[in-house]
A and B are shown apart, each in its own frame.
Chain A
Amino acid sequence: MNMNRRGRQTQPNQGSRTNMGGDEPHSGNRGLQIEEPLLFELGDRQTTGIDFPALEDQHDIETRFGDLARSEPIGLAGLSEPETMRHYVRLSQKNYSIDTGIYPLGSCTMKHNPRLNEKMARLPGMMDIHPLQPQSTVSGAIELMEELAHWLMELTNMQAIALSPKAGAHGELCGMMAIKAAHEHAGDLHRNIVLVPDSAHGTNPATAALIGYKVRSVPAQSDGTVTANSVKAALDENVAAIMLTNPNTGGVFEREIVEIAALIHEAGAYFYCDGANFNAIAGKVRPGDLGVDAMHFNLHKTFSTPHGGGGPGSGPVVLSERLAPFAPYPFLQRDGEVARLVENSVDQAGDDHHPFGRMTAFHGQWGMYTRALTYMRSHGGDGLRQASEDAVLNANYLRASLSEYMSLAFGEDHICMHEVLFDDGFLKGTGVTTLDFAKAMIDEGFHPMTVYFPLIVHGAMLVEPTESESKASLDQFIEVMIALTKRAKEGQSADFASAPLFTPRGRLDETGAARRPILRWLPKKETLTE
């Protein structure tokens, strides 16, 4: 036979993998995990990754702009296209994402972001239209806004909507401004207090304070919910509104919400509902039926628009009949066949509108409307209902599977909605904190749940799986949480304290970052003095 001597080993060596003498690889990289310098350490002022056509006529900028021409270098760095691609791809590989695995952040609704949303948002007729081109040339865009408005109002049984707020907190601001405008319109200027439960997200009191309201705290009872009695005790003729989250920040439906709404209305105040947790009740309960006057959505939570590493959000606000006249510019109006956006006071027909003003330039996060509507149409009314049911089922499945091992907040094993709240009671005596537990989850390949929120629960752990998790994914999660709990109880606190070990970076010095803030790159030898 002809012997081909070029054989090579095709089975691994037996035994575990060890580093060459325990040293880090020479490059600092670790296989697919590449250490990536800052852009400013890679590029320079001369390099560019874009080719431009040659300038036909030389318009001498210096002469044109005179004293305003830029004379000093800017200091920006550029890269060629391949280098740019590598830089950002490598950075992306250091991120966890929904597409990577379960992202059980309570109150964030990290559900699957369908790519059809992205495809539709990029149709030229969607992306490449200007907010101030004549409305007659963008009838499709305006109709899209109408359709989205219809879906949101139908899901909530509310009568009007402000689409323009750019994020959830911005939506809260819009709703509260509408309420304040309504009181001003009625001459009720003495109303300067807003009721906020102590379990509320920080945006609620911050929003109220921003527009000049004093915040009066409403205490929660022992299971975290707000009672009509405690609201009654806090009410007086100076209260302008209450801001409630429903389901609340502990993932529980506020049982006395109808009575609370009635009390609020009797007192001449308005009911603002924080809709961050709408994913639990879409298609099942309509806030308008409960007595809500204004509610914001987070399209990036309930309606799958992408989180993008921190934004952009979109926070449309539905309004009741009483608040409808105060919706800000621009708002939708239909004149028979034609839908249009009313952009200012001269534009509008009729005296029944008293818009309080404008929240933002142009019309709002229109690119997010496209994505949200694509998602909604994909699900349909029946799908949205099913999604809410699955979200609630998934959270309760986690609750039922983990309640023996971890400790439920408020000590009660009560049904939850789309998220389940634990406290750190189960870690008592182990030396492991909520933070340590969360970091250990990272090593297991999971993004941790929301920690230390809501503030009324000690060492809170708020877990929201969403409807996007399969049963297999949940079972794996449960298994790991139980294993970690056992490890903690076995006294392995040192392991937890050193976690995470298998990530691009270990725990970072946040104290140092706050004491000596370095907020930008500077060339060596330069420092910023205050």
Chain B
Amino acid sequence: MRYLPLSDNDRQQMLAKVGVADINELFADVPSGKLLKELPNLPLMAGEMAVEQHMSALAARNLSAGEARGFFVGAGAYRHHVPATVDHLIQRSEFLTAYTPYQPEISQGTLQVLFEFQTQVALLTGMEVANASMYDGSTATAEAVLMARRVTRRKKAIVSGNLHPHYRDVVKNMEHFSGGNLLLCDPVFDGDEDLIAQIDEETACIVVQTPDFYGNLHNYARLAQAAHAKKALLIVVVTEIVSLGALKSPGEIGADIVVAEGQSLGCGLDFGGPYVGLFATRQKYIRQMPGRLCGQTVDGSSKRGFVLTLSTREQHIRREKATSNICTNSGLMALAFSIHMTLLGEKGLRGLAELNHAAAAQLAEKLAQIKGVELVTKRFFNEFTLRLSKPASEVVEALAEQKILAGVQVSRLLPENEDGQNLLVVAATEMVTQEQSNLFANLLKEVLA
């Protein structure tokens, strides 16, 4: 077997050295009757060729974004072009097959990348510090709520109704099990909710998203002030990180914690994961932050170097008193994000943001002209919501048969919301061409006629 270097001869020699005749003697501690005699009921070993054939056959049954005649799906994961350099670099042995940098002397590559990543995330979000990444945006949001509860020593969390429904569910789940007290607001598809009225002295935090799940842009400066007046924290969620190339950062607006999904840069769609969660906050809260942190230091010869630091927050030291149970970060995806961000640079990110908005604005204009289509979102970045004259799920299925992936029907994530049955969330990135937009518009017109 190509992954197993030991030959039968080796095995014999080694068994002899160990002093046993048969490998099963080394399994002597297994209770009697529990050591399997037969092989598991699974296919036998296969060569590369056979495995490729099998996996390719599975892949062939999926309609990929590139094969589709138009791709407009967003809702928290976005199709952006990832430069060839990124994918090449993350496959380098020393990045792909290295472990967590617990021995910093032989992990300065990983550590310096994390330090640069933390800086990039802090700059993008307009915050003072960022950690070395979380699993994804949704779990980062749940962790942010836990952190706000620790910092304020209060239990109540107010969650915007326009937060991504999956994120809302993840927060709800975590709060249920950790004894929190959640106020979940109802969605307001076309505009601002009144969250200020909900804040009181029991409030630990308010969780909002901009651009929100329906694409609306929000200025949360007043909300930030109201929260701070009651000593509560404002948590801002960003699911499309490219938007920060055009929009004011949450930090400038007054956020205390910013959590984001970094998938748009470096990661690709991958049917939902692995992605990369971004987590940034104020310097004064660093000891309450979850996740890994990379810090700058020097070695014995006074050369600058980097190490994981403030580990006493983490589970392997504090155990039941840890800030979280988290062990891993999303190392490789953080690297991909960082490389993509480096290639873009500030100028490139701004340019990319403009292209995204232009693509979405053009598409929205075309679609809004169709009979039976109403544009719900007034101000948007690269994603907006349409109200259709038919249930959106039917429209999506009909267009999918024509190989147009038209967006996400709100009813898929909010199945019980009656108002949402005819709503479709549509995204357009720099990868959308004029032809695709036109085709989408034409086919949508047919379906709605």
Contacts and interface: CB of A to CB of B under 8 A. Distances in A.
A87 interface: yes
Contact of A140 (B61, B83, B317, B415): B61
A528 B297 contact: no
Contact of B273 (A133, A166, A373): A166
A128 B342 CA distance: 23
A168 B328 contact: yes
B307 to A, nearest CB: 5
Interface stretch (B119-127, B154-162, B201-209): B119-127
Given A311-B330, A396-B18, 9 more contacts: A52-B352, A71-B248, A95-B98, A131-B77, A356-B173, A361-B167, A379-B1, A380-B42, A503-B105
A72 to B, nearest CB: 7
Interface in A346-365: 346-347, 356-365
Interface residues of A, number: 211
Contacts of B123: 74-76
Contacts of A265: none
18 contacts: A49-B85, A75-B346, A76-B123, A81-B343, A129-B270, A154-B40, A203-B316, A209-B321, A210-B325, A286-B36, A309-B95, A357-B176, A358-B170, A377-B50, A378-B3, A382-B39, A470-B6, A520-B129
B380 to A, nearest CB: 9
Among B39, B50, B172, B327: residue with most chain A CB under 10 A? B327
Contacts of A46: 345-347
A125 B293 CA distance: 35
Contact of A48 (B43, B178, B343, B408): B343
Among B317, B350, B416: residue with most chain A CB under 10 A? B350
A271 interface: no
A140 B29 contact: no
Contacts of B95: 88, 92, 95, 97, 308-309
A76 B164 contact: no
A78 B43 CA distance: 49
Contacts of B51: 116, 120, 374, 377-378
A210 B178 contact: yes
A235 B319 CA distance: 21
A360 B124 contact: no
B163 to A, nearest CB: 11
A203 B98 contact: no
A311 B331 contact: yes
A210 B391 CA distance: 41
A413 B107 CA distance: 34
Contact of B284 (A45, A166, A530): A530
Given A132-B73, A471-B10, A505-B299, A138 B63 contact: yes
A442 interface: yes
Given A285-B30, A307-B331, A519-B294, A507 B268 contact: no
B231 to A, nearest CB: 17
Nearest to B89: A88
Contacts, number: 701
A40 B269 contact: no
A392 to B, nearest CB: 5
A494 interface: no
B419 interface: no
A130 B65 contact: yes
Among A73, A77, A128, A519: residue with most chain B CB under 10 A? A519
Nearest to B28: A415
B405 A52 contact: no
B358 A59 contact: yes
A113 interface: yes
The 8 closest A-B pairs by CB, nearest first: A78-B345, A308-B332, A125-B59, A362-B272, A140-B61, A357-B173, A310-B331, A131-B272
Nearest to B267: A367
Nearest to A209: B320
Contacts of B18: 393, 396-397, 399-400
Contacts of A73: 346
